[in-house]
Structure 1
Amino acid sequence: MKEYQTPKDRRYTETLLNAARQESAAFMNLKHTAERKDGAIPAKYRELMSIAVALTTQCAYCIESHMQNAVREGATKEEIAETVFIAAALRAGGAVGNGLLAMRLFDEIGSVATTGPGGE
C-alpha cells in the first residue's frame, strides 16, 4: 500500500453508507442532530467542540470538515488555537488519569507477584 488516508478515499463514502444502510442512517441522524444549529449551544461552539474531539481522535477528515464549519460560523484563528491547546491538555490529562489506573494495577499485580497467585 502506497498511502493511507487520502482525500481520494472520500469517493468511497456512498459505498460505505450503502453497505450498512441501517447503521449508516443511525449514524447520520446522530451526526446531523449533534451538528444542528437550533440547539442550546451555538453553532460556533459546537464546531469548536467538534474540532477539539477531532484533534484528540486524530480524524483528518473531521478536522477539515469542522474547521470549514467553524470558520463559516465565525470562529477566529485565536479561538482555534485555544481549542487546539485545550484539546491537547485534556488529552494529556487523560493519559495522567489512566496513569493513576496503571499505578493501582502495578500495586495489585505486584502484590500478587510477591504473594503468589492464590494470595499465599
Structure 2
Amino acid sequence: MNYYDSNNLKKIPDLIRLAPEAAQSYLTFEHEVYEELKAIPLRTKELIALAVAHVTGCPYCIDTHVKKFQSLGGTREEIFEAVLVATCTRAGAVLSHATHSLVAYEEDRTQEQQMSNEVQPKHKPDCFC
C-alpha cells in the first residue's frame, strides 16, 4: 500500500458521507477563509498554506497548494523561500523550547536535593501526559 497515493483522495466523498454535517462545516470554513475573507490576497494565502503544509508534512496539501499558487503566478523561488521561512520558524520553535529542557534539568536537581531531606513516596509517576 502506498500511503500517499493521490488516488486516495478519491475516498474523500466517502469520508464526507460518514459525517456530512461536520464535513460541511469544514468546507464552509475553508470557503470563507480562502474566498470570502479579503484582507490577505489569495496568492499570499496559498503561499502561507504551502509553507504550513511543509510543516505539517502533508504531501496532498503540498501538491494542492503549490499548484494553486503556481496558477496564481507564483514562482519556484517564492515557494522555496516560503519553505525556508517555515523551516527556520520551526527550527526556532524547537530551539526556544529547548529552554524548557534546561529549566526541567535545573528543577530536577533542586527537587532532588529537597526530596533527599524528606521521606519519598514509593511510587511516583514520571509523567502525566
Provide the TM-score with structure 2 as the length reference: 0.81
Q: 1:67 to 1:107 in 2, by over 3 A?
A: same
Aligned length, in residue pairs: 118
Q: Highest Rg: 1 or 2? A: 2
2:42 corresponding residue in structure 1 = 43
2:77 corresponding residue in structure 1 = 78
Distance 1:34 1:105 in 2: 40
Deviation at 1:24?
A: 1.3
Distance 2:36 2:63 in 1: 19
Distance 1:25 1:14 in 2: 11
Structure 2: segments with no counterpart, 5+ residues: 119-129
2:32 corresponding residue in structure 1 = 33
Deviation at 1:38?
A: 5.4
Moved more, 9-18 or 28-37: 28-37
Matched ranges for 1:82-93 at <5 A: 82-93=81-92
Render the CA deviation track for 1:58-95: whole Å, top value 9, x for unaligned.
Answer: 01111011001100111111111111110110110111
Moved more, 46-55 or 29-38: 29-38
| Percentage of pairs with the same residue | 26
Root-mean-square deviation (CA, aligned residues, Å) is 1.9
Q: 1:30 to 1:106 in 2, by over 3 A?
A: farther
CA contact 1:53–1:87 (8 Å) conserved in 2: yes
1:116 corresponding residue in structure 2 = 115
Q: Which amino acid counterpart does residue 113 of structure 1 have in structure 2?
A: E
Structure 1: segments with no counterpart, 5+ residues: none
Matched ranges for 1:9-24 at <5 A: 9-24=8-23
Distance 2:14 2:96 in 1: 39
Moved more, 61-70 or 33-42: 33-42
SS at match of 2:51: helix
Moved more, 25-34 or 79-88: 25-34
Moved over 4 A (4+): none
Provide the TM-score with structure 1 as the length reference: 0.87
Q: Which amino acid counterpart does residue 71 of structure 2 have in structure 1?
A: R
